[in-house]
Structure 1
Amino acid sequence: MRNQNKQQDFKKLQTILNELPWYVDEFINHKLRKLSTASLFNYCHDYKIFFNWIVSENLWSGTIKDIPLERLEKMTVLEIESFLNYLHYELDNKELTVNRKLSALKSLFNYLQNIAETPDLKPYISRNVMAKIEFNEVKETMETKANKMEGKILLGDEYERFRLFVANDYGELHKENKKLYNFHQLNKERDTAIVSLILGSGLRLSELIGIDLDDIDFSKYCVRVIRKGNKEQYVFFSQIAMADLQDYLTIRASRYQVDKSNKALFISAPIGPKGKSRRLTARSVEKLIEKYATAFGKPSLSVHKLRHSFATRYHAEINDVPKLRRQLGHSSIQTTMIYTHIKNDDLKTAVDKMDMPKEQAD
């Protein structure tokens, strides 16, 4: 089943590549062994925006597929700055998003100038305008990012309250609405297991939906996942997550009419009289979390925020950044460091004491 998902992602990538110039196809194939198809699809989406902009600005009179290397070689700094302004002001992209798209373009142009070769061993382009363009300076500190995140994640007793809300309270809240109530009754064990597993492990959405039954080690409380960069790793999860998983597995086959050949852990309900159960999609998981989060009174909560919630709690209880980095599958420890800035109660207590009379502070 995992191979089937890979094939589907690869087909999506090929579809968008068919709309882009030949040298983009060559660049993506160069990167195929190093990056996931999802990352490369995002690259192609960014390139499509760039090439469409070139055509819309009359910098090329043909189709985007026919934009030649010579046009890229003659791009000016002013033209690129104009494109970046278009992203920021017309598409309303934030500075980090503009930086990401600029990074994708820099990678492509670097390949064309420094890696790709013509038959007579010359570079595809001799002039690289992207080398002259600097990234936007993002001035947010770790503390600022952490403070923004803090109001959007689960803290304290909210972890268990949200889990119980998914397991029971959502159904009680909608008892008068038969459609919502019955749908919750059908899926509550599955949905609770999903929430519990993310909150008990910090798995990414792509890792969660890719899990097969055989990937779970019930004796060691861990699950085999494929992380970014196509790396295999066994990730530990909590005892509560294990209990919720086992509750779900007792009803999985009968409730969802699952064919024995379907090894996907999380299954969607069959639609229609002849519908077949299938692996739950990423969008389906996002929508169910959005549904529960809104009803819970925390609409900003998302799958990724549940991952952040796990990381925050892990750091508060374990206080071991290298272990947390491995658990989350971060390639850089700097990414993990943000969780050291969330909910710093010791610092807040120290500041509060400054306003107290000395004898009371002591």
Structure 2
Amino acid sequence: MRNQNKQESFKKLQALLNELPWYVEEYINHKLRKLSTASLFNYCHDYKIFFNWMIAEQLWNGSMKDIPLERLEQMTVLEVESFLNYLHYQLDNKELTVNRKLSALKSLFNYLQNIAETPDLKPYIHRNVMAKIEFNEIKESMETRANKMEGKILLGDEYEKFRLFVAHDYGEINKENKKVYNFYQLNKERDTAIISLILGSGLRLSELVGLDLDDIDFSKYCARVIRKGNKEQFVFFSRTAMADLQDYLSVRTIKYKVDKNNKSLFVSAPMGPKGTTRRLTARAVEKLVEKYAAAFGKPALSVHKLRHSFATRYHQEINDVPKLRRQLGHSSIQTTMIYTHIKNDDLKMAVDKMDMPIEQDE
């Protein structure tokens, strides 16, 4: 199933590349082993915005696919600054988004100047205007970002309260609504396992939905995931997450009528005329988190905020940034450092005590 998803993502990327100049495809192929297809798709989307802007501003009279290298080499600083202003003021992109799109362009132009070679070993372009363009200065400090995040994540006893809400309380408050209640009864073990796994590991959404049954190591409490850059890594998760996952797996085949060849860990209810059970999509997970978060009284809570909740708790209890960086799969330790700025004085249990005392009853 994972291979099928990768193939579908690759097809979408190829379809977008067919609209872009030949040198963009060459650059993407150069990056294909290093970055995920999702990241490269975003790059191509950014390039499409840039090239469409060039045509709209009459900087090129012709189709996007035919924009030559010579035109890129002749780009002026004023033209690029005009494009960045267009992103900021007309498309209403925030400074971070403008920086991301500028970074994509810088990477492409750097490839054309310093890596790609003509048959006679000359660079594709000699002049790189993007090297002269500086990123927007982001004035927001880590403390400010942390303070904004703090009100949107689970802190203290909210962590376990939210898990229990998904596992039990949501059904109790919706008993009178038969349609909602029956749908909840069908999916409660699966949904609890999803929430518990994110809260007990900090997995990304893409990593979670990409899991197969064979990726779970039940003896070591870890999961094999493919992280950004197509890197394989084993990520540990809590005993509570394991217990909730086993509860879900005990009903997965019966409740979802799963074919033995379907190795997807999280699946949706049978759909369509043939009653096909499919891998749960990222959007479906987002929607179920939104549903429970709104009912819980924290509508700002999202899948990514659950990941932040795990990271905050981990840091407060373990206080080991390098280990947290590895657990979250961050490429830069600076990204992980934000969790050192979130204040949460009422946390008292260590990460391996976050679990309910399930062993004590045995």
Give matches, 1:193-212, under 5 Å. 193-212=193-212
State the 1:74 CA deviation.
1.2
* Structure 1 SS opposite 2:49: helix
Looking at structure 2, the residues matched to 344 and 303 of structure 1 have their Cα atoms a distance apart, in angstroms, of 20
Local SS of the residue matching 2:224: strand
Cross-structure match for 1:254? 254
* Structure with greater contact order relative to length (CA < 8 Å, sep ≥ 6): 2
CA distance in 2, matches of 1:158, 1:344: 12
Given the two structures, how large is their TM-score scaled by the length of structure 2? 0.93
Structure 1 Cα separation of the partners of residues 202 and 344 of structure 2:
20
Correspondence for 2:230: 230
Runs of 5+ in structure 2 lacking a partner?
347-362
Which residue identity lines up with residue 86 of structure 1 in the other structure?
A: Y
Q: 2:144 is matched with which residue?
A: 144
Q: Give the alignment of 1:71-150 within 5 angstroms.
A: 71-150=71-150
Give the corresponding residue for 1:333: 333
SS at the partner of 2:229?
Answer: helix
* Residue 85 of structure 1: how far off its partner (Å): 0.8
User: In structure 2, what is the Cα distance between the partners aligned to 1:290 and 1:91?
Assistant: 27
Q: How much has 1:9 moved relative to structure 2?
A: 1.0
Q: Deviations over 1:157-196 (max 9, x none)?
A: 1111111111122222222322222211111110110000
Give, in angstroms, the shift of residue 284 of structure 1. Answer: 1.2
Which residue of the partner structure matches residue 241 of structure 2?
241
Distance 2:54 2:293 in 1: 41
After superposition, what is the alpha-carbon deviation per residue over 1:37-76, rounded to whole angstroms, capped at 9, x for unaligned?
1111110011111111111112112121111112111111
Distance 1:332 1:115 in 2: 24
| Distance in 1, Cα, partners of 2:306 & 2:136 | 29
Matched, 1:12 2:12: yes
Paired residues, what number?
346
Which AA in structure 2 matches 1:286?
Answer: E
Residue number in structure 2 paired with 1:169: 169
Which portions of structure 1, spanning 4 or more consecutive aligned residues, are displaced by more than 4 angstroms?
none
Question: 1:272/1:121 Cα in 2 relative to 1: closer, same or farther (>3 Å)?
Answer: closer
Q: Distance in 2 between matches of 1:165 and 1:52?
A: 48
Task: Select between 100-109 and 65-74 the one with higher mean Cα deviation.
Answer: 65-74
Letter in 2 for 1:227: R
Amino acid paired to 1:12: K
Amino acid at match of 2:5: N
Instruction: After superposition, give the CA deviation of every residue in 1:68-127 in whole Å (9 maximum; x if it has no partner).
Output: 112111111111111111111111111111000000000001111111111222211121
Map of 1:354 onto structure 2: none
Deviations 1:188-221 (A, max 9, x none): 1101100000000001111111111111111111
Structure 1: gaps of 5 or more residues: 347-362
The residue number in structure 2 matching 1:59 is 59
Alignment CA distance shift 1:6-1:272 (3 Å): closer
